[in-house]
Amino acid sequence: MLNINENLREPGSSGPAASGPRTSAAPETKEQLVHEIQDAMAAARAAGIRQGFQNLMGRSVSMTHMHVLAKLRLAGPLPMSRLAEALDVSHASATGIVNRMEERGLVERMRDGTDRRVVLVGLTDGGTAALEEIEARGREFFGRLLDQLTKDELIQLRNGFRAMHRASQKMVEQEIATQEHGPRRPGKVGKVQPA
């Protein structure tokens, strides 16, 4: 069985991740730190999702169903073909998944207003409620997790998330600038490469 906490263990430890700073003989490179943070974020996210998901398993909601619900919330109603593509399954498999979800009141089929031949799949109130329940349980889990940290650790974590937000905003600005003006030449700050 896969242990998602494996990547959170301290070097040389045999139990769960220990609190306190990581100590190793060799200095960590930026690349190593990025990889470790990515692993830790994935493990924490998986643990939160698993915690929120556990209660819904009794209602026969699978991880595939959760993927469909999340996709429909982000994209809105989708044609079956686009949903199958998003799930990386055949049209027939997507139809089976949607059938089961429809039986459980999570999604509904509807006709496209502009092309009646197209059948769209959209969220129902029950599907939205399932997503909200999972998110609430995930928040509850992370609240309990954060409560285990010291005030100094919380400040460090908050500062790290603020730095990630700034980096994310910078990336978005750079992508917008690239779309508007084309890619910039390395070393030529302020000069735009002709399109």
pLDDT tens sequence across 130-153: 888 888 888 888 899 899 999 999
Share of the chain above pLDDT 70, in %: 72
- The single-letter DSSP state of residue 152 is H
Q: Which whole number is the average pLDDT over 5-18?
A: 44
Which run of H or of E encompasses 107? Answer: strand 107-111
Average of per-residue pLDDT across 89-94: 94
More confident residue, 80 or 42: 80
Torsion, Cα 95 99 105 109, to 10 degrees, reads 50
Residue ranges of the domains in the chain?
30-148, 150-182
What is the pLDDT at residue 106?
93
> Quick one: which of 91, 67, 96 has its CA closest to 81?
91
Residues 184/194, Cβ–Cβ less than 8 Å:
no
First-to-last CA distance in the chain?
52
What pLDDT is stored for residue 6 in this prediction? 44
CATH class of 30-148: mainly alpha
pLDDT digits (tens, 9 = 90+) for 27-79: 688 888 888 888 888 887 777 666 666 655 555 677 888 889 999 999 999 99
Res. 195 pLDDT band, cuts 50 70 90: very low
